[in-house]
Structure 1
Amino acid sequence: MLAPRPTVRIRFAVELEGGLAPTEFVMVTGSHKLLGQWDPQQAMLLTQDEEKSTRWRGSIDINDDMLKFRYFVAYKLASADGEERLIISRWEAFLHPRSVLCKAEERNGECRTNHIDIFGYYAGRKCISDGWLIHTDENQILLRVHGNAIKFYKSATKDRKHTRIKITPLDVRTRQTSGAHISFNTGEDEEEPEEDDPSLSALPTHSWTDVAVLSNSNPKFIRQDDAGVMFSNNKDYIVFKTHSTAVEFLAFYIEVFNEEKKRIGACYALPSSMADTFGTTQLPFINSSGRPIGQISREYLFVRSLHKPISPQLQLMDVSYSRHWKKRNNPLEVGHRGAGNSYTKFASVRENTIHSLDKAASHGADYVEFDVQLTKDKVAVIYHDFHVLVNVARRSHSIADLPKMDEDQKELMERTDYHEIAVKDLKLRQLKLLMLDHINATSKKDSHKLVVDAEEQEEMKPFPTLIETLQKVDPDVGFNVEVKYPMMQKNGLHECEGYFERNEFVDIILADILSNAGKRRIMFSSFDPDVCSLITMKQNKYPVLFLCVGDTQRYTPFQDQRTSTSLTAVNFAAGADLLGVDFNSEDLLKDPYPVKRANDFGLVTFVGGEDLDIKENINYFKKELGVDGVIYDRIGEDEGRRNVFIVEREQKKLLLNSSGNSTPQRPASPIDLVLQFPSGATVVERRHSDPTTTISEQEESEDGESEGHPEQSTADADDEESGNTAATPMGSHQMHTPLVQISHI
């Protein structure tokens, strides 16, 4: 009988820069069951150091050869029924977790005895991400104040230019702390019980308030000041953020201060004023005498946790690509709607079909971009426009009359036979059976038809489902999934009114992706900034890009201020913890500075638009601006190219096979391909002015594990986007100069 393997004590010690909120604490999760096996709800709580409050410690005894782990910051809330809920505040989102070789590093029965980690820093990089929603009753609430939001009634104060706004969440069932209520100089209230309902939990049902000013140079969320944040009408855009696990009892106490931080008025936003998950409310605020003196307008958005059933294994902390990108010498090339826009630009195959996506993949696209929306029966399908034209039978003419009509009359009759209908108002079966035309078919004489032949092959038909697309398209090509959600335009027209509720809409698409993506590389994008926030907060697996129209003469701009300029889009993406921004080429050709601004925040930059029909513009964005990705039509048709992930995988295998030779040979490859060296080599590294924050092209974990998506083997997992995209430390806005360094074996 073999003797039991001796255990090794693994010590954890982590230092937090800036400290914690009073109710926050530090936990560690990892590959061992004592650390919860990556389940944050089963993680181990660390103990605060008695001598240094910013340091947290703990230890476990195990007999494993290797341990992987991550730190995260959390706090607890109570549900409406009083049950405890662990809320993830922020976590270390490196692709590769920390690791320790237990037997190799053991000294006197212990590992890491005198080692102190810095939270969020590992292997010379910084990567901290906000937590995501993990409980069914957990909500993030975003309150936005912008535009002409503050109005005063009296003529003496109506021209006041600057005020300060503070928003405090509260549970209507509990007594509020001193100062968190409106005081009147006169009047007498009925006495309230001195104590709260004893059945309520001692834990709060909501968190504190963080605030971000998107109109400032630093758009990151910070803890709200006691006297709120400065606001100027038609200048500032402020976002307040809090969490709640009992939204049916959630209210807000809103205070308005003058510039000297003296309170001049206050009001309550009660649950009844937030009946939907999204809306705008106008609330009158009163002074200490109870007299109404003005009103405040604010938008609200409730971000709910993902309610669609998915495997619990898909929401763990073992791997995440949400803040992960691999910097290459050449940007990724993305096929727009597959092989390109077919209805107005004459792509050789119909856009947004499985055939079009596969054709782009066969032409060497690294990713393919396509649009996803829902049918009436709530099935996610691939289609760009919100509406289609349905060809219906006419009663006014018979077939016998057709020979009597001239060509103009026939064309007019054909055009008046069409009726516009929203995709959301047709079930999937109807979309598959009806003879439909593209929404621009009647205005563009030469445009391609949406449905040509009812008997054509399934892969060539429009409206493939998202699940079919995930299952049938070449698995080596990544998916840039544009989540289509209709928005109000500046001309006063809505793209598609009466649409699905945002949370339900996003949940359906996310569930399809999380359950069917497998090893495929996925990134999300959307023109709707709220959809971007929802996707980011509902899952921790895949990254999100904010699509920006910016300053445009070509497209109808949106009403949402966050989409109005490329710089505003950069600030939103940085504040919302997104991976990056997908710019409109039209705007960047006029002013490329937003790309530099995005680089300063460590954001990934993509660009798309009709200007990329011109090869010179593609080269400009790739070589001069150095964007991370370009999205364009008819990829690979003018000149041959190969999918970069396939090339890198082949090159690595060749290098590994030749590693026994005294002189490794570089395989022949096109000049624009990136050579990947074996583990330990740095191919390209871009350093920020902060030496602790880097973006590396090839980053191997200390144990040599290759990068890869879930379930991907080490042999073919080297071709993932890697590199930290963490923003610069808060308050730091230095210009960052890229440095290119080639290090050989």
Structure 2
Amino acid sequence: MSISQLDAFRGGDKLVRIVGHRGARGLMPENTLIGFEWTLSMGIEALEFDVLLTKDEVPVIVHNHHLTASTTRQPDGQWLPDLEPAIAQLTYEEICAYDVGGIDSNSEYGMRFPEQMFLSNIKVPRLADLLRLITQPRFSRAVLMLEIKSDPHATDPKLTRTRTVEKVVQDVRNTGLSHRTILHSFDWEILAECQRIAPDIPTSFLTQLPENDDHVGEDSSSNFGKHLQNAASIPDLVAQAGGQLWCPYIKDLAAKDIERAHQLGLLVITWTANDINDIENAIDLGVDGIVSDYPGRVQHALLSRGYAWMPKPLENQEEFPRFPGAAAL
């Protein structure tokens, strides 16, 4: 556990880390540079986001394996029709023709996030764009929980996994940010490739038991949980697979599993906690960190207990830079 980026996800006495989910999806357009910059500028050090490869093998930050109708506008400003093109079938240049700065408030997905800002002229970012953003001195403490998605429609899944991991790791290494990145996935075969190709970068194992309902408007991850259904101890499986972090779904949290994970030396970061009762329960159970679309809700829950989400700065160490003018907000 000597790898430096793990410390940014490590909890402690009255310390629970906060991870901004897709930036801060509840408030800002998800998986966008402006959303990431806003979240970091408000003092959230860790980001969780999703990466896929385009047709021309450019790693881009997108959650679903297709452009999503409820969050994508065409060049004429109209919402994308239901026939949603696959990311793997579009070049990066073709993807740049679309605007992902808003959410359709009349869609089922949009109804989940009525407070999200509506922006225009926002493009799907490349992974390299976000990596360059956090090389700025003001974001020198930012860390990335980089989720690599598994393409269910790949004609050669093994080759696709390998090429995706290779391209992602290449981008991370090109910006010198291996020490600030964690590789993260539901697909444990992808994580095995991560360990083979980049043994110096920690791996984070996402889990969701298959009995949970899928989330409206999002690609399902339930297929990846089938092997966990009758497992005696999921943390033991994660440790045996070489993971350093275990990331269980918020509805699957159990005290005995968190205790066991900590006994095994795993950090426990739960996703995605938006409801205040879920947030409070996660804190009670002793997780190391909480992934949320609403980082502010987690902040207030922690503050009400006298907890923090960042350790106190060392002597002569500056606090995390904030958005210009934040003191006046």
Question: Normalised by the size of structure 1, how large is the TM-score?
Answer: 0.35
Q: 1:526 pairs with 185, 191, 198, which one?
A: 185
Contact 2:11 2:289 in 1 (8 A): no
Question: Identity over aligned residues, as a percent?
Answer: 21
**Structure 2 residue 14 is the aligned partner of structure 1 residue 335:** no
Which residue does the alignment assign to 1:594?
A: 257
Which residue does the alignment assign to 1:165?
A: none
3-state SS of paired residue (1:373): strand
Q: In the TM superposition, what whole-angstrom CA distance separates every residue of 1:573-621 from its partner, at most 9, and x where no partner exists? A: 1111110210011111xx4322122123221111112xx2222332322
**Structure 2 residue 229 is the aligned partner of structure 1 residue 569:** no
3-state SS of paired residue (1:348): coil
C-alpha separation in 2, matches of 1:501 and 1:470? 22
Structure with bigger strand share is 1
Which residue does the alignment assign to 1:381?
A: 60
Which residue does the alignment assign to 1:484?
A: 149
C-alpha separation in 2, matches of 1:562 and 1:389? 29
CA shift, 1:497, in A, is 4.1
Larger radius of gyration: 1
Which residue does the alignment assign to 1:627?
A: 287
Contact 1:477 1:520 in 2 (8 A): no
Which residue does the alignment assign to 1:537?
A: 196
Matches within 5 A, 1:112-261: none
Matches within 5 A, 1:83-98: 95=2
Matches within 5 A, 1:509-520: 509-518=168-177
CA separation of 1:554 and 1:462: change in aligned 2, threshold 3 A: farther
CA shift, 1:480, in A, is 0.8
3-state SS of paired residue (1:503): helix
Q: 1:420 pairs with 73, 84, 106, which one?
A: 84
- Residue 264 of structure 2 aligns with an amino acid whose one-letter code is F
Which residue does the alignment assign to 1:616?
A: 277
Contact 2:210 2:226 in 1 (8 A): no
C-alpha separation in 2, matches of 1:522 and 1:392? 31
C-alpha separation in 1, matches of 2:91 and 2:244? 34
Which residue does the alignment assign to 2:45?
A: 366
CA separation of 1:326 and 1:350: change in aligned 2, threshold 3 A: closer
CA separation of 1:513 and 1:566: change in aligned 2, threshold 3 A: farther
Q: Which runs of 5+ in 2 are unaligned?
A: 215-219, 318-329
3-state SS of paired residue (1:652): coil
CA separation of 1:392 and 1:378: change in aligned 2, threshold 3 A: same
CA separation of 1:333 and 1:560: change in aligned 2, threshold 3 A: closer
**Structure 2 residue 153 is the aligned partner of structure 1 residue 496:** yes
CA separation of 1:620 and 1:415: change in aligned 2, threshold 3 A: closer
- Residue 83 of structure 2 aligns with an amino acid whose one-letter code is H
Matches within 5 A, 1:309-348: 320-321=3-4, 326-329=10-13, 330-340=15-25, 347-348=26-27
CA separation of 1:615 and 1:558: change in aligned 2, threshold 3 A: same
- Runs of 4 or more consecutive aligned structure 1 residues displaced over 4 Å after TM superposition: 320-327, 389-393, 414-417, 435-443, 445-450, 565-568, 637-645
Contact 1:321 1:543 in 2 (8 A): no
C-alpha separation in 1, matches of 2:201 and 2:245? 12
CA shift, 1:537, in A, is 2.1
CA shift, 1:322, in A, is 8.4
C-alpha separation in 1, matches of 2:59 and 2:6? 26
Contact 2:59 2:127 in 1 (8 A): yes
C-alpha separation in 2, matches of 1:614 and 1:444? 18
CA shift, 1:439, in A, is 11
Matches within 5 A, 1:384-399: 384-389=63-68
Q: In the TM superposition, what whole-angstrom CA distance separates every residue of 1:600-644 from its partner, at most 9, and x where no partner exists? A: 3221111112xx22223323222x221111111121268578996
C-alpha separation in 2, matches of 1:359 and 1:565? 41
Contact 2:98 2:123 in 1 (8 A): no
Question: Normalised by the size of structure 2, how large is the TM-score?
Answer: 0.75
Contact 2:276 2:297 in 1 (8 A): no
Q: In the TM superposition, what whole-angstrom CA distance separates every residue of 1:428-478 from its partner, at most 9, and x where no partner exists? A: 11111136799998852855899x876x3xxxx242111110111433221
C-alpha separation in 2, matches of 1:354 and 1:415? 21
Contact 2:172 2:178 in 1 (8 A): no
Which residue does the alignment assign to 2:325?
A: none
CA separation of 1:420 and 1:600: change in aligned 2, threshold 3 A: same
Which residue does the alignment assign to 2:320?
A: none
CA shift, 1:513, in A, is 1.1
C-alpha separation in 2, matches of 1:475 and 1:566? 40
CA separation of 1:425 and 1:552: change in aligned 2, threshold 3 A: same
CA separation of 1:631 and 1:476: change in aligned 2, threshold 3 A: same
Count the aligned residue pairs: 292
Contact 1:363 1:636 in 2 (8 A): no
Which residue does the alignment assign to 2:128?
A: 467
C-alpha separation in 2, matches of 1:359 and 1:436? 16
- Residue 636 of structure 1 aligns with an amino acid whose one-letter code is G
3-state SS of paired residue (1:636): helix
CA separation of 1:358 and 1:567: change in aligned 2, threshold 3 A: farther
C-alpha separation in 2, matches of 1:501 and 1:416? 27
Q: In the TM superposition, what whole-angstrom CA distance separates every residue of 1:397-454 from its partner, at most 9, and x where no partner exists? A: xxxxxxxxxxxxxxxxx8994422111111111111136799998852855899x876
CA separation of 1:584 and 1:417: change in aligned 2, threshold 3 A: closer
C-alpha separation in 2, matches of 1:544 and 1:529? 10
Contact 1:550 1:565 in 2 (8 A): no
CA separation of 1:322 and 1:417: change in aligned 2, threshold 3 A: closer
Structure with bigger helix share is 2
CA separation of 1:563 and 1:515: change in aligned 2, threshold 3 A: farther
C-alpha separation in 2, matches of 1:481 and 1:416? 27
- Residue 130 of structure 2 aligns with an amino acid whose one-letter code is T
Which residue does the alignment assign to 2:248?
A: 583
C-alpha separation in 2, matches of 1:643 and 1:462? 34
Q: Which runs of 5+ in 1 are unaligned?
A: 1-93, 96-319, 341-346, 394-413, 487-494, 655-745
Q: In the TM superposition, what whole-angstrom CA distance separates every residue of 1:519-552 from its partner, at most 9, and x where no partner exists? A: 8622121000111111122223221110001253
- Residue 185 of structure 2 aligns with an amino acid whose one-letter code is S
C-alpha separation in 2, matches of 1:620 and 1:354? 31
CA separation of 1:321 and 1:543: change in aligned 2, threshold 3 A: farther
- Residue 369 of structure 1 aligns with an amino acid whose one-letter code is E
**Structure 2 residue 123 is the aligned partner of structure 1 residue 444:** no
